[in-house]
Amino acid sequence: MSKERKDFADPNQFDTLVGKEVVVKGTLESEGDVQINGYFAGTIDSEKDVIVSEHAKVKANITGKNVYVAGEVDGDITASEKLEILETGRVDGDVTSQALSIEPGGILKGSSQMRETESEKPNSTPTFEVEEETK
């Protein structure tokens, strides 16, 4: 399920919330959703969604199920499903995801690599050509 703009301001929707005036440095590991509104430096690793809100500045590599960027990220992002860079979002790093969305005004400075889903991978078996002997 995609997050909507109104979800970004609702602290009841997230397991970990870093407030607007908060500075955090280190490693953040979470089994739930994470929302960064302030400054974070280090590593973010979540089994669920990661949201970098409009006023946030993140200098970290981010791993999550779905990652939404409305602020600034300096680091690589790996989303197991979807990465959305919103119109105010800026990513300076390489990104990997199954789906990538960049709204007009959003910036990606880096490379993107798309993962194939299991259902999209072709199911093929090798074929061998055999020449028949002529007598």
pTM: 0.76
> pLDDT digits over 77-119, tens only?
999 999 999 999 999 999 999 999 999 999 999 999 998 766 5
Q: Please give the residue that has the higher pLDDT: either 15 or 87.
A: 87
User: Per DSSP, what are the bridge partners of residue 67?
Assistant: 50, 83
